């Protein structure tokens, strides 16, 4: 037996404090707490607080509240019905109940299993919410729930599971050994209760009362007939028996018996349940073989975490023929990313959910077995964990912004290769900058005169800013070079888009006089389109038969070029032009609800607005989504340079319009137009979402009262984009985001990747990272 396994004790450097955790790592929780408002954890934290608020409204639970009497007549006994047993319709009294595989009997709700789960879940949620927020009211409610279920004489549960998963009419209505799994939610709950030790609401009396209760419960587990039978099980039931009992013993202070269970675990569970090839035969015979293999693996990982927090490296325990926890993991990982047909055993449903359950364990194993760097790599490759997933708060998580830029680095380089391929095989004169994908999936390149020409080089500069990858800098220089000629484009209001997004970002990174001069020349070109009588910059020169002096809401974005030129030169003329344009736009471009028209045409003689229309929205009265985002961003940016509070107020009103609109989807990626009658069967516009997110992060730095709201809205956008809108690496010609809309009325660029979506996505990521 001594040669069967080897455990590595670290007792000399390990001490168990009063705040020790078992499944969770307290040091990790403290690290997370310090970073709780970072983008890595903020979404999960907000979800936790939302869940806690719901738990605050939940009722108290007690086994004495059950609708049906306990078989033993003591209302304090826990009772649960075996899920798939139903009354026998051939019998007047329905007894004994008969088995109907896969059909849950609704009588389950008449007993205690659901209340137990809800009580334990709410205690866990509230305890975590208290720990991370410091709000004592969460702790108070958690403690009251514990008192009602475990401590109050009138309502407390007897410390046994004598009637767990009973089948009416059989075995004297006594419980079954498998019923011991009902209390597994106590394991997580007790880890959360340990966090309450720093709370005023959790008294010494509460603590001693709970410890006494679980001491009695642990004794029942060890001495009852049901417990003795369950202990002999050779599958996940045996594993969960050891897991639960270990935690109960640790909670009530019996570390000697708990450590004995841990030390016996390899020989009794791991080496008997795991084969040398890593398979778990007792789980593979099930119709959900992959699910149950992962399910049992979770308990192995839980036990490894408990052992490590006791100074025992259980994950290193290995039998002479190579059986260990890592082997069990390695048996399953080859099926990640594959169809269920690749799995040689039965898995009749839930394949994708089971793969994601495995990913969760991979992340934990990467921490428990740090030498296995491949586990974290596999997790990052295949996990679809949402940014609001609570596991992030329990076990930590990779920085999604760092991971995003790692992806961006590869994708932008691929985009350049795709561009080179087109230029070399089917060149179009002057077309050298990626703009979007065509309907057929081909790459559309444009020349420097195109209003989108500055976005791809700008994206390269922002990616370089984060990664400091010199290869990206070289590409940024290369793609900025041809767009520099746009500095002389007096025919375009989009000089800001073209030059400031490219050479402007280049100047920020390099402080090169060359880029500075390009920016200044472009500012002069843009200023030449200003009409001092109308106090606005002309947008378009076409359709002169229709418009006298058209100004589009998009033009707010180009003011940044003028404001920056004023700062660079000290020439107030640029500032005055930009400020005047913003003021005139504020006065004429908005409806009473703060939505914006796309086009306002001015009478060149009277100076008044003569037409208010759309060119790219659904109709003249609709709120074109990207137009609203241009307005939001434009006025937030104008406040940055002027500190004129009316601009900030305008941005605030626009934000309220957008983010309280009934047609805004729950993921905050808007439909291309808020008033399209085809909603919800209408295309989304990720580009509008990106522009909004970037603007909101800027606004959060200006308004402390609304900061939390703005960051929350923007975080939801970024989370949605990262989880559901990213292009698969190495696909779609190197673009970053799917599902943008360019010009719906012209039926062009509908539901495709577009360069300006990528640009403002990167800017939003950088702004979030700097908060």
CATH code of residue 50: 1.50.10.100
Instruction: Find out whether the peptide bond into 96 is cis, omega within 30 degrees of 0.
Output: yes
**Could you report the per-residue pLDDT of 230-288, keeping only the tens digit for each?**
999 999 999 999 999 999 999 999 999 999 999 999 999 999 999 999 999 999 999 99
The answer to whether residue 753 sits within a structural domain is: yes
**Phi, psi at 611, each rounded to 5°:** -140, 140
- Does residue 317 contact residue 6 with C-beta atoms inside 8 Å? yes
Q: How far is Cα 352 from Cα 481, in angstroms, rounded to an integer?
A: 47
Ligand-binding annotation for 24, yes or no, is: no
Instruction: Dig out the tokens for 417 from the structure.
Output: 């290769």
Question: 232, 263, 288: which is the final residue of a domain?
Answer: 232
User: 430 with 483: CB under 8 angstroms?
Assistant: no
The answer as to whether 285 is a domain residue is yes
- Report the Cα 270 to chain-centroid distance in Å: 34
Question: What are the DSSP calls for 500-537, one per residue?
Answer: IIIIIHHHHHH--HHHHHHHHHHHHHHHTTEETTTTEE
11 and 73 assigned to the same domain: no
Q: What is the SS3 assignment for 651?
A: helix
* Number of structural domains the chain divides into: 3
Say if residue 528 is in the same domain as residue 647.
yes
Plot region of 642 (φ>0 → left; ψ -120 to 50 → alpha; else → beta): alpha
Instruction: Residue 435: name the closest of 484, 498, 487, 485 by CA.
Output: 498
Residues 343 and 216 in one domain: no
Co-location of 753 and 614 in the same domain: yes
Q: 494 a known binding residue?
A: yes
DSSP 3-state of 435: strand
Structural tokens at position 345: 């055993």
The answer to whether 391 and 385 are in contact (CB under 8 A) is yes
DSSP string, 47-65: HHHHHHHHHHHSPP--GGG
Q: State whether 373 and 411 are in the same domain.
A: no
Q: Would 662 be classed as within a structural domain?
A: yes
The gap between the terminal CA atoms of the chain, to the nearest Å, is 56
- Which of these three, 198, 232, 266, is where a domain ends? 232
Phi, psi at residue 330, to the nearest 5°? -65, -25
> Which among 443, 515, 523 has a CA at the least distance from the CA of 477?
515
Q: Does 351 share its domain with 420?
A: no
User: Which CATH number does the domain housing residue 552 bear?
Assistant: 1.50.10.10
Strands 79-81 and 599-602: unpaired
226 and 270 inside one domain: no
Name every residue whose Cβ is closer than 8 Å to that of residue 59 and which is 6 or more positions away in sequence: none
Please give the Cα distance from 239 to 548 (Å, whole number): 79
Q: Is residue 220 a known part of a binding site?
A: no
Of 398, 421, 452, the last residue of a domain is 398
Do 260 and 222 share a structural domain? no
Spatial neighbors of 660 by CB under 8 A, at least 6 apart, are: none
The residues of the chain scoring below 70 in pLDDT are 1-20
**Annotated binding residue 619:** no
Q: Are residues 315 and 287 in the same domain?
A: yes
User: Which secondary structure element, helix H or strand E, spans residue 43, and what is its range?
Assistant: helix 42-57
Confidence (pTM)? 0.92
Cβ–Cβ under 8 Å, residues 437 and 444? yes
Report strand pairing: 530-531 vs 536-537: antiparallel
In this structure, the answer to whether residues 407 and 273 fall within a common structural domain is no
- Whether residue 270 is found in the same domain as residue 124: no
For residue 554, say whether it is annotated as part of any ligand binding site. yes
Same domain, 669 and 738: yes
30 falls within a domain: no
- Alpha-carbon span 597 to 314, nearest angstrom: 65
Tell me if 721 sits within 8 A of 690, measured CB to CB. yes
Output the six-digit token pair for 75.
């209302």
Kindly report the backbone phi and psi dihedral angles of residue 661, in degrees, each rounded to the nearest multiple of 5, phi listed first: -70, 135
Does any domain span residue 248?
Answer: no
Give the torsion through C-alpha atoms of 68, 71, 73, 77, to 10 deg.
-80
Contacts of 157-160 with CB under 8 Å at 24 or more apart are 157/62, 157/63, 157/76, 157/77, 157/78, 157/112, 158/63, 158/74, 158/76, 158/77, 158/78, 159/213, 159/214, 159/216, 159/217, 159/220, 160/77, 160/78, 160/217, 160/220, 160/224
Chain CA centroid to CA 570, Å: 44
Active site residues: 494, 554
Per the structure, the complete domain to which residue 118 belongs is given by 35-232
**E strand or H helix at 284:** helix 281-284
Asked whether residue 367 is marked as a ligand-binding residue, the answer is no
Within-domain flag for 690? yes
User: What's the confidence (pLDDT) of residue 4?
Assistant: 42
Sign of CA dihedral 337, 340, 345, 346: positive
Q: What local confidence, expressed as pLDDT, does residue 20 receive?
A: 63
User: Based on the number of CB atoms within 10 Å of its own CB, is 749 exposed (0-12), middle (13-18) or buried (19 or more)?
Assistant: buried
- Asked whether residue 27 is assigned to any structural domain, the reply reads no
Is residue 442, in this structure, part of any structural domain at all? yes
CB-based contacts of 515, cutoff 8 Å, min separation 6: 480, 503, 504, 506, 507
């Amino acid at each position: 037996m001594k040669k069967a396994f080897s455990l590595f004790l670290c007792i000399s450097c390990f001490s168990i404090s009063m705040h020790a955790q078992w499944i969770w790592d307290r040091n990790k929780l403290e690290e997370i707490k310090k970073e709780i408002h970072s983008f890595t954890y903020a979404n999960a934290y907000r979800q936790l607080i939302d869940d806690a608020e719901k738990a605050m409204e939940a009722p108290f639970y007690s086994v004495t509240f059950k609708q049906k009497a306990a078989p033993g007549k003591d209302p304090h006994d826990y009772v649960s019905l075996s899920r798939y047993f139903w009354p026998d319709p051939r019998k007047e009294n329905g007894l004994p109940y008969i088995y109907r595989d896969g059909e849950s009997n609704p009588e389950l709700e008449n007993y205690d299993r659901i209340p137990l789960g809800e009580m334990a879940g709410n205690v866990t949620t509230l305890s975590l919410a208290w720990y991370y927020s410091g709000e004592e009211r969460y702790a108070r409610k958690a403690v009251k729930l514990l008192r009602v279920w475990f401590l109050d004489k009138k309502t407390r549960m007897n410390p046994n599971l004598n009637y767990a998963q009973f089948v009416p009419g059989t075995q004297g209505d006594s419980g079954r050994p498998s019923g011991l799994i009902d209390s597994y939610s106590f394991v997580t709950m007790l880890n959360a209760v340990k966090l309450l030790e720093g709370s005023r609401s959790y008294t010494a009396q509460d603590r001693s009362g709970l410890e006494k209760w679980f001491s009695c419960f642990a004794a029942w587990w060890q001495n009852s007939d049901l417990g003795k039978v369950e202990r002999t099980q050779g599958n996940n039931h045996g594993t969960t028996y050891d897991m639960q009992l270990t935690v109960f013993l640790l909670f009530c202070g019996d570390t000697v018996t708990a450590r004995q269970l841990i030390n016996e675990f390899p020989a009794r569970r791991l080496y008997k349940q795991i084969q040398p090839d890593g398979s778990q035969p007792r789980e593979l015979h099930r119709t959900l073989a992959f699910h149950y293999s992962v399910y049992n693996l979770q308990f192995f990982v839980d036990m490894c975490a408990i052992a490590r927090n006791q100074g025992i490296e259980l994950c290193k325990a290995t039998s002479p023929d190579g059986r260990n926890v890592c082997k069990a993991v390695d048996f399953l990982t080859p099926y990640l990313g594959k169809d269920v047909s690749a799995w040689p055993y039965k898995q009749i449903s839930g394949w994708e959910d089971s793969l994601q359950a495995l990913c969760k364990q991979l992340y934990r194993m990467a921490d428990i077995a740090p030498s296995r760097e491949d586990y974290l790599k596999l997790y990052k490759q295949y996990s679809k964990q949402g940014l609001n997933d609570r596991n992030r708060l329990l076990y930590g998580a990779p920085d999604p912004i760092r991971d995003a830029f790692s992806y961006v680095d590869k994708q932008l380089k691929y985009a350049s290769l795709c561009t080179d391929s087109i230029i070399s095989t089917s060149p179009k004169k002057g077309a050298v900058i990626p703009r979007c994908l065509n309907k057929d999936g081909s790459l559309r390149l444009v020349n420097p005169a195109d209003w989108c020409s500055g976005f791809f080089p700008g994206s390269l500069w922002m990616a370089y800013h984060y990664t400091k990858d010199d290869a990206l800098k070289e590409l940024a220089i290369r793609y900025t070079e041809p767009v520099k000629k746009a500095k002389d484009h007096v025919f375009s209001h989009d000089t800001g888009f073209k030059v400031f997004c490219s050479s402007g970002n280049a100047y920020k990174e390099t402080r090169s006089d060359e880029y500075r001069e390009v920016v200044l020349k472009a500012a002069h070109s843009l200023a030449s389109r200003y009409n001092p009588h109308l106090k606005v910059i002309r947008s378009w020169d076409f359709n002169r038969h229709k418009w006298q002096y058209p100004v589009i809401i998009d033009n707010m974005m180009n003011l940044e070029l003028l404001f920056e030129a004023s700062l660079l030169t000290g020439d107030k003329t640029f500032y005055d032009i930009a400020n005047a344009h913003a003021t005139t736009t504020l006065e004429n471009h908005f409806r009473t609800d703060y939505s914006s028209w796309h086009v306002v045409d001015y009478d060149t003689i009277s100076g008044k607005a003569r037409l208010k229309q759309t060119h790219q929205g659904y109709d003249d009265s609709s709120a074109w989504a990207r137009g609203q985002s241009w307005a939001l961003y434009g006025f937030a940016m104008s406040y940055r340079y002027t500190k004129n509070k009316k601009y900030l107020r305008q941005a605030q009103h626009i934000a309220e319009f957008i983010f309280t609109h009934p047609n805004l989807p729950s993921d905050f990626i808007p439909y291309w137009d808020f008033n399209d009658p085809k909603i919800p069967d209408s295309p989304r516009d990720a580009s509008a979402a990106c522009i909004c997110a970037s603007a909101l992060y800027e606004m959060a730095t200006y308004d402390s009262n609304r900061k939390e709201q703005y960051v929350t809205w923007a975080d939801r956008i970024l989370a949605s984009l990262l989880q559901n809108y990213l292009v698969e690496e190495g696909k779609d010609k190197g673009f970053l985001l799917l599902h943008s809309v360019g010009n719906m009325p012209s039926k062009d660029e509908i539901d495709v990747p577009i360069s300006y979506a990528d640009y403002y996505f990167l800017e939003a990521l950088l702004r979030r990272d700097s908060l």
